[in-house]
Structure formats: C-alpha cells, structure tokens
Amino acid sequence: MKSLFHHAALVGKYQAVSSGSGGALSRQTLHRIGEFLMGLGLEVSLEAYTATNMNLNDYNRLNVAGIGKNCDVCIVVGGDGTMLGIARQLARYGVPLIGINQGRLGFMTDIPLLNFETILRPMLEGHFTEERRSLIQARVWRDGHCFFSAEAMNDVVVNRGGTAGMVELRVEVDGHFVANQRADGLIISTPTGATAYSLSAGGPLMHPSIPGWVLVPIAPHTLSNRPIVLANTSEVAIEIIAGRDASANFDMQSLASLWHGDRIVVTRSEHEARFLHPEGWSYFDTLRQKLYWNAE
C-alpha cells in the first residue's frame, strides 16, 4: 500500500554520539530507518543538528522551521528527552510525530527499535491513533517587564539555590492568593510531565486527555501542602519571596539567579503537540509496561 505521508523528517539522539561504537551504531540505525522510509516512497530529510552531529551527509538537511514548512510527519529516534525537545519546537507547525524508542523508559517513544518496520509500515499507511498534548507558556517578569519567555511540554519548576535552606514562594491562581509555600521548590506539571519530576515528588499520574495541570510542592516545610490539580485554563503566578539563588527550569531550558519579587506566570500555550501511536495504542498499556505493573 502507498504511504499516507510524502515527506518525513528524521530526528536522532545525536547527544549520545561519541567516538566509540555506540555512535557508529546510532548512525547506522538512522541510515537504516531513512532507507526504509525511502523504500516506502517518502522523501526523507534529516533535522540539521542530527545530520551535523552524526556526520550523515546522504540526506537533505532542514532546520525546525524548514521541517514545519516542508514535512508532513516527523520520525524521532531516541528517548523521551529527544522527543520532548523536538515536539516542543514543532508544536507550532502542527507536524505529527512518531517515536522509535532508543532510550530507557520511552513514555513518548513507543515503537521498539528492534522491529520498527513491522509497526511503522501500517502507521505510515494510515493505521494509527492520534493524540494531542497541550503545552505550557511561561513568562518571567521583573519590575513590570517580561524578560524571559519559554514553552514547556513537561513542567515548569522553581527551585531553591544550591546552598542549604528553603525558598519561599507566593502562589496565586487566577489572581487569587493560594498560599506562601516554604519548600525546596514547586512544580507545575502537564499530564505529559506527570510521569517525570512530578511523579518523583509525589504527584499523581494524569491521563493525557485531562485538560489540567498539577501543582506539586518539592519537600514542603508544611506537610499539609499537597499536590493540587488545576484546570489548564488557569493562570498560575509564582513570586519569589525569600531564599538564595532561586532558579526556574522550563523543560530543558533553565533560568538561574531569580531575584526576590520576580514572578513566573504560567498559562496554557496556544500550541499542541501531535503524536501518532500504533493502532490500538493505550495509555494504560504504556504505564503497565514502563512502570512494571503486574511484573513478577
């Protein structure tokens, strides 16, 4: 059967490339996948950083904007970190993503590398389940001016500095005062990020279809401070009240040295990431497999 798609972008986990045999294996893997896609009649382009860092010169190179303009599907080979980075950038272009797992957990990259051909072929012919996931828009304000802005798929995290001592944060939701929290930090997590840092800090698992966020304190001084699930239509503001060298992290984008009085304002992004899964895919199957439920 003919592929539903015409032009595929190929993104690899180039950060793992080294002078050892592992890097060579990664290059061979990407080349093998590229050959498979071309064999199905697709035009194939490599994401520019992937091509440069893996020294692959057999394909056309495209930056993120070029992928958004020219490609109708993106194949991501790596782990959740690789998928997270490119999905956040491509969300504004509406390009759907398919993940082939070459990482450890793979909550978002659910096709095993070992037999990717068997699963990927019917997906490219149109037999897939589509899922959309919302993003967070975060802005940092100082003295009435926004000096930093970023989007996040997983979470926004405000942390204390490296020195001992807690940070004190004033939390507001839709302009209403919630609490002053003294803790090691605070996480605002999407359902996608619920299996990441939020889970480690005691937050709940959230089904990706839930239009919500979870507010999770990190090691709070007051033990009655518990995770709160909020609607993702809310505006959450976090103000730095006290604490030394507080910092904020937006997925893999960090901002250090926040000052007292700085405000991190979080709203829902206008963009959504599109993921394609094998037909019959279930979020609960993913949880069961990755978290080893029912394992003996």
- The whole-number pLDDT of residue 187 equals 97
> In the structure encoding, which two tokens stand for residue 165, read together?
């001592």
The helix, strand and coil proportions of the chain, stated in percent and rounded to the nearest 5, come to: 25, 40, 35
Sign of the C-alpha dihedral, residues 113, 118, 123, 124?
Answer: positive
The CB-side HSE value for 129 (13 A sphere, CA atoms) comes to 9
| pLDDT band at 161; cut points 50, 70, 90 | confident
- Tell me which of 80, 155, 251, 262 is the catalytic residue: 80
Given a contact cutoff of 8 angstroms between Cβ atoms, the answer to whether 134 and 213 are in contact is no
157-172: burial string, b at 16+ Cβ within 10 Å, e else:
bbbbeeeeebbbbbbb
Q: Is 155 a catalytic residue?
A: no
Other C-beta atoms closer than 10 Å to the C-beta of 129 total 13
Tens digit of pLDDT for each residue in 174-184? Answer: 999 999 999 99
Supply angle C-alpha 111, 113, 119, rounded to 5: 45
pLDDT reading at 15 higher than 70: no
Mean pLDDT of the chain: 91
| pLDDT band at 290; cut points 50, 70, 90 | confident
pLDDT reading at 22 higher than 60: no
pLDDT reading at 196 higher than 70: yes
Question: What is the enclosing helix (H) or strand (E) of 84?
Answer: helix 80-90
Greater model confidence, 15 or 235: 235
Tens digit of pLDDT for each residue in 123-146? Answer: 999 999 999 999 999 999 999 999
Supply angle C-alpha 279, 127, 270, rounded to 5: 80
pLDDT reading at 173 higher than 90: yes
- The whole-number pLDDT of residue 296 equals 59
Mean pLDDT, residues 184-203: 95
